[in-house]
Amino acid sequence: MSTISLTTIQTNLFWEDRDANLQMFESKISGINDKTEIVILPEMFSTGFSMHPEKLAETMDGFTVNWMRTISAQKKIILTGSLIIEDKGQYFNRLIWMLPDGNFGWYDKRHLFAFAGEDKYYTGGEKRLIASVKGWKINLQVCYDLRFPVWVRQQNINTGNLDNSQKLPEYDLIIYVANWPQRRNHAWKTLLQARAIENQCYVAGVNRVGDDGNGIYHSGDSMIIDPMGEILHTKANEEDVHTIILQKDKLAEVRSKFPFWKDADNFSIEP
């Protein structure tokens, strides 16, 4: 069974200062000594969670996407995180999944945080993105999506008329990138574990620390969680760069010993 290595970067962000943030992330990525295949940055990693897309948005051929392409190629890693993108006259909170060969995919945050006015400035996505790496299937999500379990729920492959023994889980790992405030960190920690348990998969939640430009404090609490909901790593209230190796045989063992996923309801999601 295969393994996959992840590095999570939990850090403070320079408010609405792209150049300072990219310089900081480049330094942290260069300082990773462990062998790693995927490096995960927080939500809106180049700016912080800003409602000023008109002055901060970039295009898909802009500076930050090209920076991701360069870093990914130099370090031979998959680099992911979300940033503010302008596309066809609309603004998106867009997660980029950058491969070392320069190819990339993206996921537009589906659930916009109306409590902070995100829905007034950004357009929500309509499609999930499940990436494939070394036989691992990875479901990519952004922050507030965490509160909506139906959007991320395993949809068994080969459903229809097949019996339960022929069904297969859709993915093996969920990645959430976030700017989740400390005042609601109980929900963050609880829901990350819930998503792992109910979908019988690994979960990686990567959050920022520190105060943003609105004086809102973030405690981080980034987590790596196994398919039983056990926390493999977490860190609160300080910057943290952590590399971990996930085991596919552990995942297979859990799914085989406790095949709860086979009893899940069949459903489809409408945009």
Is the CB of residue 256 less than 8 Å from the CB of residue 247?
no
Which is catalytic among the residues 16, 37, 43, 58?
43
- Residues 6+ away with beta carbon under 8 Å from 27: none
Sign for the pseudo-dihedral over CA of 135, 141, 147, 153:
negative
Is the CB of residue 227 less than 8 Å from the CB of residue 202?
yes
Task: Tell me which residue has tokens 């492959």.
Answer: 157
Is 201 marked active-site? no
Which is catalytic among the residues 16, 37, 109, 189?
109
Q: How far apart are the first and last CA of the chain?
A: 35
Q: Which two tokens stand for residue 267?
A: 């459903």
CA–CA gap between residue 92 and residue 72 (Å, rounded)? 22
CA–CA gap between residue 235 and residue 223 (Å, rounded)? 7
- List beta partners, residue 5: 245
Which is catalytic among the residues 37, 58, 118, 143?
143
The catalytic residue positions are 43, 109, 143
